[in-house]
Amino acid sequence: MITEKIISVNEYLTKSNLPASDYVINPYVGCPHGCKYCYACFMKRFTGHTEPWGTFIDIKECDKPINLKKIEGKSVFLSSVTDCYNKYEEKYCITKKLLEQLVNANCSVGISTKSKLILRDIDLLKQMKNLKVSISINTLDEDFKNDMDNASSIKDRLLTLETLHKNGIYTVLFMSPIFPGITDFKAIIDISKDFIDEYWFENLNLRGSYKNTILFYIIQHYPQLTELYNQIYIEKDMSYWEQLAEE
């Protein structure tokens, strides 16, 4: 069960710490996708939540419109610590309302999601002059996906990217996180190359509370990879990533 709460905020725009964007918008606090490897679980300590990550959602409401002059010539990213198209977006339409403002902005917009719900807003997206949409895929194995998150199926994510591409929207397949010995990046590229404009890659980083969760999962489900994961995440041997980068 997910705890749902509406909160008021002064504005949606936040200065970004990400290298590729000037501002970020996180329309929600928390994320029902509940990805087991999610680095954003650190947000709990800033929001007063004690529940497990993935079991709460705060819906941000703000009466003040986005200051379009503030973001003129800048880049805006949705979202860095939530999925702006999580299942509660279907009910509250916060992201849609934001896009209705951003469509008139002279800025570049990046949207990252794991949800097919983004297709609901395809008519808005087609009007945006400088837009990139990235969807995260790190496996073609639906069982592994289901073990890791509650987001849209891999099949639906691929179909979503294909639909966006056919409608003239710049598509990015974000291969993240790459699980050593599990993520087959060549197979993912092969199945998607006809409708992807750009690929991004991110290694699996294990830190904080979810490090032991992932390592225990590997022991249980991929015991043959235990030695490799110990080498990378306990002994800090990065030779696997160096070899992968050469490929």
Residue 230 Cα distances to 15, 171, 175, 233, 237, angstroms: 37, 35, 22, 5, 9
Look at residue 44 in the predicted model and tell me its pLDDT.
60
At residue 114, what is the residue type? K
Residue with tokens 């800048």: 74
Find out whether 241 and 203 touch, Cβ atoms under 8 Å.
yes
Q: Strand order of the sheet with strand 3-8?
A: 3-8, 56-61, 28-29
> In whole numbers, what is the pLDDT of the chain averaged over residues?
95
Find out whether 158 and 119 touch, Cβ atoms under 8 Å.
no
The 10 Å Cβ neighbour count of residue 67 is 12
pLDDT in tens, 143-186: 999 999 999 999 999 999 999 999 999 999 999 999 999 999 99
pLDDT band at 115; cut points 50, 70, 90: very high
Look at residue 19 in the predicted model and tell me its pLDDT.
84
Which residue ranges form the domains of the chain, and what is each CATH number? Answer: 3-205 (3.20.20.70), 209-246 (no CATH)
At residue 24, what is the residue type? V
Distance of alpha carbon 244 from the chain centroid: 23
